[in-house]
Every structure is written in C-alpha cells, then in structure tokens.
Amino acid sequence: MARLGQWLEPHPHGLYVKPADAWIDPSTPQARALVTHGHADHARGGHETVWATPETLAIMECRYGPQAGKPVQYGESVKLGEVEVGFVPAGHVLGSAQIVLSHAGETVVVSGDYKRRPDPTCEPFQPVACDVFVTEATFGLPVFRHPDTGDEMDKLLERLHANPDRCVLVGAYALGKAQRVIAELRLRGHAAPIYIHGALQRLCDLYREHGVELGELRPATDTPKAEMAGHVVMCPPSALNDRWTRRLPDPISAMASGWMRVRQRARQKNVELPIILSDHADWDELTDTLIEVSPKEVWVTHGREDALVHWCMTRQIRAKALHLVGLDDEDD
C-alpha cells in the first residue's frame, strides 16, 4: 500500500512538493516557493518565483522589496506541474493561508501558522477535509488554553483608565499582533488616538491599504511626553526595555503574546501587565481542528510536537513530527 503523501519530501529547510517542483515556506532561496504568510520565519526573500495571496506578497514587498510574485486569491487554485494548488484562509495574520495540495487522488493541507479565534484584521480559518494535515504546534501542550480576547483587552483598558497620568506601552509583534491589538481595542470602544513606534508605521499603513480599520494612529516619536499620558502606545517587543521608552510618561510595560501565559517569560521581559493574546491555536483549538478536518495522517512542522503526535496516536491517527528548522514562535 502506497504511503500517504509520498510525493512530499520534508527537509529541515522546508517541505518539497516533488510533482510541482516547488517548496512550501522554504528557509533558503528556491526557484519556486509557495508561501503561507508574511512572517519572516515563513516568508524569506530571494526566491525566483513566489506563489502567495496578494496580501502576503504585499507584505513581502514591504519587507524585502519587489518580488517575482504570482498572486493567488482565497478560493482560487493554480496548476503547478502535476499538482493543483489552492489557498484558503488560515486566520493567522492578514493574507495568511493554508495551502491545499491535490495530487494522485490525495488532498494534503499545509496549515502554516493558524488560529481559530475571531480576528478583525484577517479572514477566519477555513477547515478543509484532507488525507494529510500538516500542522503547527506552537502551543501544543494541554496547559496552553488562551483566555477570552475581550477580557484581555478589558484588562488593558482598566489599567489605562486607572492611571491617567501614565501610558500603557504594549509590546507586540510588528506584523499582525500590533494591528490586531489596535483593532481589538477599537472593538471594545476605545476611540482615542493610539501612539505607535516608528517600526510599526509601514505595516499599519499596509493593513489600512487592505481595508483594515485601525482608527487614529499618531507617531510616538517626537510627541511631547505629556500628550501621551492616559493613552496606549504600541511598540515592537524589542523596544519595551529600550532607552526609547524614556520619552514616555511613566509607562506601564505590557506585552501581547500567547507566551504571557508563562509567568517566567513575563518576568524575563520586565512586563508589568501581561496580555495573553496569541495568533496561534491553543491546545483545544489544535485538537478540535484535527477532529474537524479528519485527516488519515498528521504531520507536525514545529512547536510542541511530541504532545500533539501522542494525542493523535491515542486516537488511531497516524502522526509524525517533521522537525523543520527556522520556524520561530518567540513573540507570538
């Protein structure tokens, strides 16, 4: 009996689709790359040709300059060699996609990074039944169960309103997380200007160009300190403890990340207000997704692989870890 997905070759630097002669999220430059989303650990520069959603290609151009891109809209498919390749929403960040591969009577879905929570900045995850599901497992341990997003935003706003002479400085990944925090705050009725670090400006502009409402954003640089009192200020995580923060009015240090569930991580980053907000599926969402897409086999690309593989095996689902390198989850 032929092995499922034998036409895909896992390599440490990516997943090679042999009959399409293309790589999925390769960590080294390739002639033909299929890219799930714009985060730098999945979307590298230097490929000769890239197939991705228009939003992901725009993000790559913002970061790496002009791309030899072949845009594929959600729900569309293209034929590469002997493989039908489609892109469906992954719910991770703007433009993120699962890649659906159809060949030799089999359907393989490569999830990339994904989440199942609603997100006002991107299309929601779309489950696709398949023979092989290639999944991440960033939060693939039962201890990881993300709290309600609204509750986390309320926690931030309560601290802000209780300290009108200070600002709340939120460290958030520049692509996806920062824009999501801003949009989630708007959904909670926070209409005041939000001040942003210069490193966030280009990607916030890009999100707006693609129809994501972020409200009034103002540059934090060169703004008088007193003006930012009682306001939210956004910055990349690397700037939380930077000398740049001296220009802010007694900032309350916050960070938005799924890893804020781990108290030691919050302490290591000198975070006063941990905001548990992830763009990855938690344990229940990972396992619920596997039940929903009902694959015959599961491949785990990165994260806490062993626990998810064990969960699959106890349910008579064949599973294995791929141990792909270069996929980073530090600030998610």
CATH number for position 111: 3.60.15.10
> In this structure, which amino acid lies at residue 16?
Y
Residue 115 and residue 59 share a domain: yes
> How many residues are given for the chain?
332
Q: Is the pLDDT of residue 184 over 70?
A: yes
Residue 98 and residue 21 share a domain: yes
In a domain, 2, yes or no: no
Cα four-point dihedral sign 239, 27, 104, 297 = negative
Residue 175 and residue 64 share a domain: no
Which domain, by its residues, includes 198? 149-275
In a domain, 168, yes or no: yes
In the structure encoding, which two tokens stand for residue 40, read together? 């730098």
> pLDDT tens, 153-164?
999 999 999 999
> pLDDT tens, 248-279?
999 999 999 999 999 898 998 899 999 999 99
In a domain, 234, yes or no: yes
Residue 137 and residue 285 share a domain: yes
Are 232 and 170 in contact by the 8 Å Cβ rule? The answer is yes
Q: How far apart are the first and last CA of the chain?
A: 40
Q: Is 42 helix (H, G, I), strand (E, B) or coil?
A: coil
CATH number at residue 186: 3.40.50
Q: Is the pLDDT of residue 330 over 70?
A: no
Percent of the chain having pLDDT more than 90? 92
Residue 263 and residue 139 share a domain: no
pLDDT at residue 323, as a whole number: 81
Element (H, E) at 24: strand 22-24
Average pLDDT on 198-212 reads 98
Residue 200 and residue 115 share a domain: no
Confidence band of 105 (pLDDT split at 50, 70, 90): very high
Residue 123 and residue 69 share a domain: yes
Residue 287 and residue 138 share a domain: yes
Residue 192 and residue 134 share a domain: no
Residue 70 and residue 153 share a domain: no
Are 312 and 298 in contact by the 8 Å Cβ rule? The answer is yes
In a domain, 330, yes or no: no
In a domain, 327, yes or no: no
- Nearest partner of 206 among 54, 27, 48, judged by Cα: 54
In a domain, 241, yes or no: yes
Residue 194 and residue 123 share a domain: no
Cα four-point dihedral sign 195, 197, 198, 202 = negative
The total number of structural domains in the chain stands at: 2
In a domain, 100, yes or no: yes
List of residues 6+ apart from 202 with CB closer than 8 A:
62
In a domain, 329, yes or no: no
Residue 286 and residue 268 share a domain: no
